[in-house]
Amino acid sequence: MTDIRNKEEFEKALNHSRIQVMMFTAFWCPDCMYIKPFLPEIEEEFNDLQFYSLNRDQCMDIALEYEVMGIPSFICFKDGKEISRFVSTLRKTKEEIEAFLSQTIESEKELC
């Protein structure tokens, strides 16, 4: 997972043709720390996607632009456009994240 530290890095990441998964997180967030141990497994399983991590507190301008208030939040982009998001107030499980990513991939295949 690549860390994004500012708007310039964020915009550069959006210039790829693959699906980008942006995970908004924070160091103080217990739900973010809960999912951290299984994120490498998810990245390996979905190796055709590009994964990025944004610290919401350090990238507040991006979080505000995309209306990300709750964390962790996942927003998927393709060709610079948002194609899906997974935001909830409940703790996310590995299975829920995998289901979200699978659904995002399937939706994109249907559009092609």
Report the catalytic residues.
29, 32
The pair of three-digit structure tokens given for residue 47, joined into one six-digit string: 């190796």
Four-residue CA torsion sign, 18, 5, 96, 64: negative
